């Protein structure tokens, strides 16, 4: 790439990345903010590629966009819920603006001095490839490379341990079922009851009339067809009040026979 093209690319991509970063930091919308962060990381990866370091840019996009941004979205979807108040600015935003201006000013001054000391003609890098960087990893930075793998494993295990530990503590305090209540059947209910209910419900005119207690009482009688008449609706409802006790008694009888 010609230097002019590199300059244009870096300037354009960098400007968009800066706007996206500002939006990500100030937006009240969680998902838009996270996506803007992802866009910043992606654009920075493109900037690295434009500067000649394709491998670093690819690693950046792979890890930051594919890893970090997706992980954060996943955390918001699965575990965290954001209240309205949390989406806004903290009271220290004014201090933050001053600190940000100071940081930018100081770093810009330092970089200004640095760029003045650079030689005026710089050749674009052509050896920023995976081969050159990989060779460097396996020779000069071998120890750091190995430590990095240990760090990544340790971080993964630590993340798992932190999340699982919190869950176990909470489960010890108050048993929380992660299965929806609809799916987890109470243990004292006999096994054949749901089937009976399904069979009974289909053809009955009693379906729109009867309340759930009535339905359960009818089930317990075990003879659905005889009780479909309208005359039995009232007794059925009456029996429903004592349904649990008698149901239990009947169950033992049924098991005994």
Partner 1 sequence: MKTAIALALYLSAALAGVGVFGLFARRNVVFVLMSIELLFNAAILALVALAASGLVALDGAAVALFFVGVGVSEVAVGLALAVALYRAGGTADITEFAGLRG
| Footprint on residues 6-25 left by partner 1 (CB under 8 A) | 6-7, 9-11, 14, 17-18, 21-22, 24-25
Q: Of residues 169-228, which lie at the interface with partner 1 (CB under 8 A)? A: 170
Output the CA angle 206-196-237, nearest 5 degrees: 40
What is the rounded distance in angstroms from the CA atom of residue 122 to the CA atom of residue 2? 12
In the list 35, 46, 64, 224, the residue contacting partner 1 (rule: CB under 8 A) is 64
Q: How far is the CB of 166 from partner 1 (least distance, A)?
A: 4
Q: Is 2:29 a contact under the CB 8 Å cutoff?
A: no
Q: How many other β-carbons are positioned within 10 Å of the β-carbon of residue 141?
A: 13
Shortest distance, position 134 Cβ to partner 1, whole Å: 9
CB of 65: closest distance to partner 1 in angstroms? 11
Backbone dihedral angles phi then psi of residue 205, each to the nearest 5 degrees: -80, -15
Contact positions with partner 1 (CB under 8 A) in 84-123: 85-93, 95-97, 99-101, 103-104, 107-108, 111, 114-115, 118-123
Give the separation between CA 94 and CA 233, rounded to whole angstroms.
70
- Residues of span 24-43 touching partner 1 by CB under 8 A: 24-26, 30, 33-34, 37, 40-41
Do 170 and 196 meet the contact criterion of CB atoms below 8 Å apart? no
Stretch that binds partner 1, among 5-13, 188-196, 218-226, 246-254 (CB under 8 A): 5-13
| Closest to partner 1 by CB, 33 or 210 | 33
d(CA 51, CA 11): 11
Cβ of residue 153: shortest distance to partner 1, in angstroms?
Answer: 9
Write out the H or E segment, with its range, that includes residue 65.
none
Count of residues touching partner 1 (by CB under 8 A): 97
N-to-C CA span, the chain = 88
């Amino acid at each position: 790439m010609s230097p002019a093209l590199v300059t244009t690319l870096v300037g354009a991509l960098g400007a968009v990345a800066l706007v996206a970063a500002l939006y990500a930091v100030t937006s009240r919308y969680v998902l838009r903010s996270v996506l803007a962060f992802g866009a910043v990381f992606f654009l920075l990866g493109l900037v690295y590629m434009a500067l000649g370091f394709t491998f670093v840019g690819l690693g950046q996009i792979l890890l930051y966009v594919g890893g970090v941004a997706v992980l954060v979205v996943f955390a918001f979807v699965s575990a965290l819920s954001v209240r309205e108040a949390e989406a806004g600015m903290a009271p220290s935003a004014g201090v933050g603006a001053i600190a940000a201006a100071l940081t930018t000013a100081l770093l810009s001054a330092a970089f200004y001095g640095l760029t003045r000391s650079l030689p005026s003609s710089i050749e674009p890098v052509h050896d920023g490839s995976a081969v050159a960087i990989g060779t460097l990893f396996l020779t000069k930075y071998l120890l750091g490379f190995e430590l990095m793998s240990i760090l990544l494993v340790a971080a993964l295990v630590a993340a798992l341990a932190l999340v699982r530990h919190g869950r176990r503590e909470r489960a010890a305090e108050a048993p929380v079922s992660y299965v929806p209540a609809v799916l987890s059947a109470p243990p004292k209910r006999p096994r054949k009851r749901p089937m009976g209910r399904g069979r009974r419900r289909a053809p009955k005119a009693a379906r729109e009339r009867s309340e759930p207690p009535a339905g359960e009482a009818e089930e317990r009688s075990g003879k659905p067809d005889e009780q479909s008449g309208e005359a039995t609706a009232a007794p059925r409802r009456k029996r429903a009040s004592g349904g649990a006790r008698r149901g239990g008694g009947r169950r033992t009888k049924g098991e005994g026979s």
